[in-house]
Amino acid sequence: MTASYIIDTARTPRGRGKQGKGSLSNLHPQELLAQVLNTLRQRGGWSASEVDDVMVGCVSQVGEQGANIARNAVLAAGWPIEVPAASLNRFCSSGLQAIHFGAMGVASGAMDLVVAGGVESMSRIPMGSDGGGQDGGNEHLRERFFQVPQGISADLIATLEGFSRVEIDALALRSQRNAVRAIEEGRFAKSLFPVKDPRTGAVLLERDEFPRPDTTAEALAALKPSFVSLGQLAAGPGGETLDQLALQAYPRARTIQHVHTAGNSSGIADGAAAVVLASERYVREKGVKPRARIRAMTTVGSEPVLMLTGPAPASEKALRIAGMKARDISLWEINEAFSAVVLQTTRALGIDPDRVNVNGGAIALGHPLGATGAMLLGTALDELERTGQETALITMCIGGGQGIATIIERL
């Protein structure tokens, strides 16, 4: 195995993921991704005909996001028909997983140039549109693991860890403030590009529209918990509620404290992002100057009822592969699926909170499921370059009980 290099990154702004309310909600997701592909091509010193494969993460692969959205985006972008493409789904980490697969391809020598990333239009294809739910409706599987919705899992984690509503909200407020500062200081400008109407050329969105700069601790505290009613829904074979099913797996919690709200959970968003990955051979022969290299990448499984605790063991595994300790990482991007996920991961790894999500996260910026992983990697790389730091670790929780982690090193 040789190295895998990051040549460039690009992302759309995140649009509000509600039909008629978000600036990207009238744009077909294939076109959203196609604009990322062409932005990268226009910025780089390479030709689309050189690309060995395009790998794209997308969670809800139905309707407009079905039919291999990766391949159709390549065609929509006007790239040569010889450029192949594949779509994949590892839930919320799909975009980062696509990068992993691309990096494996170039590191193995099987490929020289790969574009990898993700896309999700949650305004046009709402979460859950594939009808699979948590477990595809497999009653036999439910006898082994009854996978409760992620919001219940997040509240269960907060209960087991003893996180108060004040702590949960404080992380959300920090996310909003960090995101607003990043936008005001232009920290996202290197990867960000304006999305345009493909027919008229009019700019649809040029900056993230999800953050709420007027957020206060008082406003967050006034929001009602989001998953109380869901927790009382009778779903078990004996009429057990979802809360009761979660407590059967974790009786020491006794009762679930519902602390997550719309203000301290990730936001529904539209967006797309990708990175260009190159082999050592391509870099050498073409004289390309990479921005970074991937030092380690890994995934792990975790307990599927609690579900969202995978980032810590995934990060530990990636650190072992890289021969590093948590203290060696300059910047951390821990996906803000829910506040409790970030707090639990930070505590488990003993991380300095000031190194985590320094430019905000999905609570403030939104979480376009299939695209977020690629967005986080690009944000981390841009911040390493802005500050002159060396290493970043990107990690995400994953539905069904998994975790993913990637370590990048600036060159």
Which residues are identified as catalytic? 92, 367, 397
Tokens of 183: 């936008």
Tokens of 401: 């009980």
Over the range 230-261, which residues count as b (16 or more CB within 10 Å of their CB) and which as e?
A: bbeeebeeeeebbbbbbbebbeebeebbbbbb
Residue 32: φ, ψ to 5°: -60, -45
Distance CA 19, CA 271 (A): 14
Tokens of 11: 């992302």
Residue at 290: amino acid letter: P
Q: Is the dihedral of CA 399, 17, 155, 362 positive or negative?
A: positive
Cβ atoms of residues 84 and 70 within 8 Å: no
Tokens of 379: 């944000």
Question: In Å, what is the CA distance from 89 to each residue of 7, 69, 70, 96, 358?
Answer: 24, 12, 12, 10, 28
Distance CA 238, CA 241 (A): 9
CA dihedral 64, 69, 75, 80 (to 10 degrees): 180
- In 3D, which of 296, 263, 294, 272 has the Cα closest to residue 372? 272
Rg over CA atoms, the chain:
20
